[in-house]
Amino acid sequence: MKRTWCKHLPAAELLIKGGRVVDPESGVDAVQDVLVKKGKVAEVGKSLKAGKNTRVVDAAGMLVLPGFVDLHAHFRTPGREDEEDIATASAAAAAGGYVAAFGMANTDPVVDTATILTGLSQRASVDALVPVGFFAAVTKGLAGEELTEMGELGAAGAVGFSDDGQSLKTAAITRRALQYVKVSGRFVAIHAQDDSLFKGGQMHEGPASARLGLTGIPSLCESLDVSRALDIAAYEDADLHVCHVSSAASLEAIARAKEAGVRVTAEVTPHHLVMNDEVVATLDPNVKMNPPLRSEGDRRALVEALRSGLVDCVATDHAPHVSEEKDVPYEEAPFGVVGLETAFSVLHAGLVEPGELDLATLVTRLSAAPARIAGLEAPAIAVGAPADLCVIDPAAVWTVAPHTLQSRSWNSPWLGNELTGKVRLTVAAGRVAWDDRA
Ligand SMILES: [Zn+2]
Ligand SMILES: [Zn+2]
């Protein structure tokens, strides 16, 4: 069944020459040429020859990787097309090396009926540069009370169900949602948050929040809700996905559950992997997100969990906001940052280069692992596979600025910063979706 949609583009005819191909799925890490014919990987090897209509891409010194899959983005459509829409979100995804991305359901209106979901998938068939798909809400209007028609929404192509942006209010609604997804073969993705502990929170609760005089959001706010959902998933033997894990306490709960055989997967964002709550001292509204940046101990635990596979994948939680919303004092700014276009650069420069994570593991967590959770075929640079890949110059330096981003919003923690590592080419579903080699 279809779970992603994309506009029609001509099939790629490419010879990508002399790049370092790193594909953990195929067990490859070597300098190779990759020949793409009619949108499929036709050959991988040395000294391959281009055909007549084949464009040659010089990838010397570059990485050639399976394309990335983002399980968690906010496309802001319907309702806030001033912040993002399917065309700009998918362009941002392509520019970040992503070959598929999934939008959350907390739009206006909420994606809680098959009619709204079908409207979005039709729009994506016209506008999306890379295949995109959609979560449907667990509860009508995200109100936490009445379940959506999950069977119909699953049949319309919802990749999974989530009230992301909000917690699932009660154990009873979490339980019923998990019972339903068992039937539909999907999963429930939770934004874990105990609302009574969250109230008025501005940043992680710890020494930094005390020093800055900002209301703290304790780790417990997340880990309590994670534990409850894990207990229910265990009881119902149903698939649960934990969004944007931010704390060591949540990781401990997930580790215990995985050990006990609970069907749980988890994601972590790039910002939680490379920053801690100390940066909030800048009072930059672009380091305000929910869950908040945690302590250095939490950050280290997240990196270790990503390395070991306890956390299955990286997801961006790409959350565009117009600059007028973010150009306010920290306390008044909304939560959320964009992330599709900076994910690889910050993780490669922040974790792989210093030796905290090896490149192959990062690639798996960005590509094959999230693809499998979404029920997609894992992107692979293997003969016969559809061309889902990206070419990245790991040494290129670029500045994060409104005009260098494809997203309609630029509320990035790295706004104005120089990043190292730039995606030069993205081929998604056999089509060139991004080409920045100029
Ligand atoms: Zn969330
Ligand atoms: Zn989110």
Exposure of 133 in the CB half-sphere (CA atoms within 13 A): 25
Mean pLDDT of all residues in 375-384: 97
Q: What CATH number is given to the structural domain containing 340?
A: 3.20.20.140
Tell me the C-alpha distance between 247 and 205, whole Å.
12
Residue 108 resides in a domain: yes
CB-based contact 324:238 (threshold 8 Å): no
Mean pLDDT of all residues in 30-36: 98
Residue the block writes with tokens 């948050």: 193
Answer whether 0.85 is exceeded by the pTM: yes
Residues lying with their CB under 5 A of ligand 1, a single-atom ion: 164, 191
Residue 36 resides in a domain: no
Report the first-to-last Cα separation within the chain, whole angstroms: 38
| Residue span of the structural domain in which 335 resides | 67-378
Tell me the C-alpha distance between 281 and 191, whole Å.
26
The total of other beta-carbon atoms located within 10 Å of residue 290's CB is 21
Tell me the C-alpha distance between 269 and 272, whole Å.
5
Ligand closest to Cα of 70 equals 2
**What is the C-alpha radius of gyration for the chain, rounded to an integer number of angstroms?**
21
pLDDT recorded at residue 296: 98
Residues lying with their CB under 5 A of ligand 2, a single-atom ion: 164, 317
Task: Using the mean position of ligand 2's atoms as its centre, give its distance from the Cα of residue 310 in Å.
Answer: 20
Residue 256 resides in a domain: yes
CB-based contact 212:204 (threshold 8 Å): no
pLDDT recorded at residue 231: 98
CA-closest candidate to residue 65, choices 21, 12, 16, 19: 21
Ligand closest to Cα of 193 equals 1
Residue 17 resides in a domain: no
Task: Using the mean position of ligand 1's atoms as its centre, give its distance from the Cα of residue 115 in Å.
Answer: 24
Mean pLDDT of all residues in 12-31: 97
Residue 54 resides in a domain: no
CB-based contact 202:277 (threshold 8 Å): no
Ligand closest to Cα of 165 equals 1
- Taking only the tens place, the pLDDT of each residue in 176-222 is 999 999 988 899 999 999 999 999 999 999 999 999 999 999 999 99
Residue 265 resides in a domain: yes
Residue 43 resides in a domain: no
Kindly indicate the confidence band of residue 126, based on its pLDDT and cuts at 50, 70 and 90: very high
Kindly indicate the confidence band of residue 51, based on its pLDDT and cuts at 50, 70 and 90: confident
pLDDT recorded at residue 183: 87
Query: What is the enclosing helix (H) or strand (E) of 192?
Result: none
Torsion angles phi and psi, residue 430, rounded to 5: 80, 5
Indicate the number of domains in the chain.
1
Residue 120 resides in a domain: yes
